[in-house]
Structure 1
Amino acid sequence: MVSNSASGRRKKEVIMATPAINIGIEENARVEIADGVSRVLADSYSLYLKTHNFHWNVTGPMFNSLHNMFEEQYTELATAVDDIAERIRALGARAPGSYSEYAKLTSIPEESSTPDAQEMIRQLVTGHEIVARTAREVFATADEAHDEPTADLLTERMQLHEKTAWMLRSMLE
C-alpha cells in the first residue's frame, strides 16, 4: 500500500500477514471441531433464551423458587456462551452470533407461548439433555484430534447440563 507523506514524497507501508494458526491441530480437524462447537453454542444460546423467557413468565405456587432457579440457570448459560464462542475463535473460526444462524444450528425447540410451570420444567429438562448430547457428539471429534481444551470445555458443559436436567426432573416426580 502506498500513501502520501506530508512532504509529498511517496513511501511504502509494510503490511504484516496474519500468521497461520499452528496449535497442533490440523486445519480440517479445527474446522470440524469449530462447526460442532458452533452447534453447542447455538443450543446453549437457544436454551438461554428459553430459560430467560420462562424466568419472566413463570406463574403459580412455585413462582418464587422457579423464578430464582431459572435466573441462576440463564446467568450460568450467559457466561457459558461467551466461553464457547471464544473457543470457536481460538480454533480460528468465526463464532455464529445471530438469531438466524442459531435457528439453523440448534436442536432446541423454540417456545413462543407461555406454558404452565410444569411444562416449563419439562421443556428445560429436554433442553439441557439436548445440549449434553450435542456436546457429547462433538467431544469424540475433539478427543480424536487431541484437542484437550475443547474436550475439557465440553466435559464441563456435559456435567453441568446433566446435573441441571436431573435437578429439574426431580421437581416433576
Structure 2
Amino acid sequence: MTTTAATDTTVLTADELLKNWQSHRGLSRRVLAAFPEKDLFEFSIGGMRPYSELAGEMIGLASAGMNGFVTGKWETSPELDHFNHDAKLTTKSQFLEAWDEVTDQIDALWPQIPAEHFHEKVAAFGQYENSVTNTILYFLDNEIHHRGQGYVYLRALGIEPPAFWDR
C-alpha cells in the first residue's frame, strides 16, 4: 500500500488557531483565578518561580507578540511587560484584569494579520526567528508548560485545579 503525504493541506485556519489559543487562555485564566492571593505571589516548589511571575510571562509574551505580528514592534505597555521588573502587577485582580485586556487585544489585532504573514519569518523580540505561526505555537507551548506548573502548585496547596480538558 502506498500513501502520499498531503503537504499542501490546510490543517487549521487562522480562525481555528485563534479559537484554540483563546480556549487555552480561558483555561489558564481559571488556573490563575484559583490561586489564593498570597500564594500567587509567594508559593513555589523546587526553585520554580511563583505563579505570578509565570502568569506575567504569559501576559507579556501574548501582548508583545500580537503587537509584533501586526506592527513589527515587539512591545507592550509597561505594566504588562514581564521583562520590566519595575512595573509589576501587585494584586490578583490586577493580573486578571491584565489577562482580560490581553485577551481583548488578541481578538482585536488578530484580524489585522494578513493571511500570508502567518508563514513569513519574523524575529520575535528582535532575536527569535521563526514563522508567525510557529511563534504563536511557541506562545501556546509556553502557556501550557506554565499552566502545568500552576496545576502542581494548586494541588500542593490542596486546591483542585480546573479540569485540564475543559477548554
Structure 1 length-normalised TM: 0.36
Structure 2 length-normalised TM: 0.37
* Structure with the higher helix share, 1 or 2: 1
Between structure 1 and structure 2, the one with the greater Rg is 1
